[in-house]
Amino acid sequence: MEIFVKALDREGVAFLHIRNKFKHLSDAKVKEGMFIGPQIKAVFPDEEFEKKLSEAEKAVWLAFKSVCTHFLGNKKAENYEDIVGDMVKCFRVIGCNMSLKLHVFDSHLNFFSQNLGAISDEYGERFHQDTSMFEKRFSGPWNRS
């Protein structure tokens, strides 16, 4: 959700809707899209939010919801590779930068177990720890050495 919120127009009605929905969060957290699971799940059934999105943004949002429900849930859908691929394509359409986490997620789909939601949160936390190590290693200016 972080990448999606960063791509939204800060003055647009969709972003303002999210800001108003989470008034208790700091502006910095909302601008950076720093939401936790229950907050993300609170936006899923919000039809007003979907109405305020542009067509391209709505496609990204629906693709993101699909990945959360059909891949990151208790059971993987049979076509999970297509679902994740569609989400990545939609992110590109609205000009989202592909973070290292999203790249690792897209490139290593076979790493995730069939019942991802049924296993402990330790695996998810481990994934974030591993990818944050990659991000630290590859952040900063590029040099040839």
Q: Is residue 143 part of a domain?
A: no
**76, 114 in Cβ contact below 8 A?**
yes
Which residue range forms the structural domain that includes residue 75?
1-137
**In angstroms, rounded to a whole number, what is the distance separating the alpha carbons of residues 143 and 82?**
35
**Span 9-26, pLDDT tens digits:** 888 899 999 999 998 988
Write down the pTM of the prediction.
0.70
Nearest alpha-carbon partner for 66 in 79, 55, 53, 56: 79
Q: Is residue 145 part of a domain?
A: no
Q: Is residue 83 part of a domain?
A: yes
What's the total number of domains in the chain?
1
Q: Which residues of the chain have pLDDT under 50?
A: none
**CA 19, chain centre distance (Å):** 17
Q: Is residue 57 part of a domain?
A: yes
How confident is the model at residue 48, as a pLDDT? Answer: 93
Token duo for residue 140: 């900063």
